[in-house]
Structure 1
């Protein structure tokens, strides 16, 4: 690109002005850099917070339920696997099946729950387990209310009895390996490996409820539900509304807060730049008056000041953009304990926004500059 003499003159004038007033320009540059830092950092957090918060919310439990359709008591696990395969694999954190039945122990009725202990810690990380999860046959875990009622401890042996689905009776001695506390219905259940329960019930590969923990927004979950519903006639998916609605509400409010903070910082950046440039205009009144006296047009004077603002915006935006990456990483590491995903296309956008904000901030000082009367200024008035 060829630069003509007029453009070269403007560039030299702009650079000369910036260098001669470097102390004042440094203040404006710092303001622009801080604004760009906050802008990129906050916008990056807004983009990545759904992923970060989604993982944090998964500590409160699953957000999707799979249940049998048409009031059927159970569903086939092969059909469950087909339904789960319709979900994005990289977003699924855990899939936990549950099977319920009634048993007796010491003449008292209890609910026994068969589950996959490897998965239950992924979909229900809030479970507080004293002891260990059952790993071997004839091992169980009991809820804290049952343990208190029956005065059971880790290592206690209990005999459970019941009836299989084939109407044959069973009676087995079990060892307690852990006591679970959730503050919910689980405190009144006995937990056993799903495979072991299936052997007692003489029925395989069946589940009554399957909990799925997946990193997704409420809108995405509804799309997944529609997909599963259209592809499966035996499984009915449901949102766990209290989890998904709470997550959506918190994310919405947090994003609004971050955008508000960003807006406030940009306004303060504009004020900082406008104040600095206004001071520069006042200092250069004689210079502006002299230029106008020897024939400079208002347009050329305006171009000069706007060019200074543009240079400030680009330099400050560039510095702030890279500082914003560090800022976002520090916030994410300290708040969420994990690194953030950087959207690198936001860097040029941040620089462009910084330049636009700076140029807008220069409009009032430019107006004052073009209003300078050469005759009054040169007379010292």
Structure 2
């Protein structure tokens, strides 16, 4: 049960807030804005690595798996074992590649066997005119080959080559699409990996495996160490230009968000302190009268700090609700997807808002305690 003394303090605090509701509303608005920005920005800071990680995957894979000990290829079975060491919820795609030299109309070309279902996941930046091969004897060619050989979608392309057992193969392949990347892929011929293996008379082998995984640079380095410790047939490598750029952007963006949050909290503190200082000046006679009839500094300080506490809690609660909406709006407008909310940040935001408000009240409280009742009651 609340004793009479505490009930009296609560009644005085609520009465004071209601009587000066216009000024208190300004302070409450400042606290609400501060809490909104605080929760919104912190939520974004926690979720931005995931959001930006998915955005950066549009630039291609960030992890390579290569054969060890100068071996030309690695078994797909070993690749699957290595991939199983990675977290499934963060893995976006795994694309194997196998390279060989062939000829078409006496011109040498590089033919690449791959998995077309995975390549769009690890290389979403590919611009493809037409469609990806779906049936046997269908290929995708680079734009440089199409321009050089004057080939179009629907054309057939004869190829000749030798298998690993030196037997010759001759095939007629249908072009279903033309790819343009601005990189080496523009000069390659792409075919289904299993079909290329049949031509080469080799099974379940790959030379390079591209992996796209949503992870920070430090997480990727950890995954590399795990693979190195448990796999001897392949060597994992970071694609540094992707991971370094991603880490740099994330670091700068997070620093900017924290800086904005800090500035907003400082402005909130100034707003609350200014408002409470005005309240103290308006209540000089009231404070002087209370001191004259026996109120001590401790009770007066408690009253003002209690007002700040109420403002901090109420403003923090309203700001936390608005902050969730704010974070969702920013995430949807910038990334086009919903944000993942860390619910423990809600009470944290309310506590921080309350602490900031109480700290902002310290200077006005100090000013209130310096009021001399005799001077105030004389009208000075």
TM range (shorter): over 0.9
Mapping 1:112-127, distance limit 5 Å? 112-127=111-126
Rounded Cα–Cα distance in structure 2 between residues aligned with 1:295 and 1:188: 92
- Provide the residue aligned with 1:366 in structure 2: 365
Partner SS state of residue 172, structure 2: strand
Partner SS state of residue 295, structure 2: coil
Count residues in correspondence: 380
- Provide the residue aligned with 2:292 in structure 1: 293
Partner SS state of residue 90, structure 1: coil
Is 1:303 aligned to residue 302 of structure 2? yes
Is 1:221 aligned to residue 215 of structure 2? no
- Provide the residue aligned with 1:194 in structure 2: 193
Q: Deviations over 1:93-150 (max 9, x none)?
A: 0000000000011111110000000000000000000000011111111101111111
- Provide the residue aligned with 1:34 in structure 2: 33
Rounded Cα–Cα distance in structure 1 between residues aligned with 2:294 and 2:70: 89
Rounded Cα–Cα distance in structure 1 between residues aligned with 2:245 and 2:137: 39
Rounded Cα–Cα distance in structure 1 between residues aligned with 2:47 and 2:29: 27
- Provide the residue aligned with 2:104 in structure 1: 105
- Provide the residue aligned with 1:314 in structure 2: 313
Mapping 1:124-139, distance limit 5 Å? 124-139=123-138
- Provide the residue aligned with 1:209 in structure 2: 208
CA drift of 1:6 comes to 2.0
- Provide the residue aligned with 1:345 in structure 2: 344
Partner SS state of residue 175, structure 1: strand
CA drift of 1:353 comes to 0.3
- Provide the residue aligned with 2:324 in structure 1: 325
Q: Give the alignment's TM-score, normalised by structure 1.
A: 0.99
Rounded Cα–Cα distance in structure 1 between residues aligned with 2:190 and 2:50: 32
Q: Give the alignment's TM-score, normalised by structure 2.
A: 0.99
Rounded Cα–Cα distance in structure 2 between residues aligned with 1:279 and 1:244: 53
Q: Deviations over 1:149-205 (max 9, x none)?
A: 111110111101111000011110111100000011000100001011001100010
Rounded Cα–Cα distance in structure 2 between residues aligned with 1:267 and 1:134: 59
Partner SS state of residue 340, structure 2: coil
- Provide the residue aligned with 1:153 in structure 2: 152
Rounded Cα–Cα distance in structure 1 between residues aligned with 2:10 and 2:131: 73
- Provide the residue aligned with 2:173 in structure 1: 174
CA drift of 1:7 comes to 1.6
Rounded Cα–Cα distance in structure 1 between residues aligned with 2:257 and 2:110: 47
Mapping 1:227-242, distance limit 5 Å? 227-242=226-241
Partner SS state of residue 89, structure 2: helix
- Provide the residue aligned with 1:258 in structure 2: 257
Question: What RMSD in Å do the two structures reach over aligned CA positions?
Answer: 0.6
What stretches of structure 1 move > 6 A for 4+ residues in a row? none
Partner SS state of residue 61, structure 2: coil
CA drift of 1:10 comes to 1.2
Rounded Cα–Cα distance in structure 2 between residues aligned with 1:288 and 1:6: 18
Rounded Cα–Cα distance in structure 2 between residues aligned with 1:232 and 1:343: 36
Rounded Cα–Cα distance in structure 2 between residues aligned with 1:25 and 1:11: 16
Rounded Cα–Cα distance in structure 1 between residues aligned with 2:319 and 2:223: 39
Is 1:378 aligned to residue 377 of structure 2? yes
CA drift of 1:3 comes to 2.5
CA drift of 1:306 comes to 0.6
Rounded Cα–Cα distance in structure 2 between residues aligned with 1:164 and 1:183: 30
Mapping 1:275-286, distance limit 5 Å? 275-286=274-285
Structure 2: tracts of 5 or more residues without a match: none
Which region of structure 1 is more displaced relative to structure 2, 63-72 or 4-13? Answer: 4-13
Partner SS state of residue 338, structure 1: coil
- Provide the residue aligned with 1:92 in structure 2: 91
Partner SS state of residue 97, structure 1: strand
Rounded Cα–Cα distance in structure 2 between residues aligned with 1:310 and 1:183: 60
Partner SS state of residue 174, structure 1: strand
CA drift of 1:4 comes to 2.4
Q: Deviations over 1:214-237 (max 9, x none)?
A: 011111111111111111110110
Rounded Cα–Cα distance in structure 2 between residues aligned with 1:63 and 1:12: 62
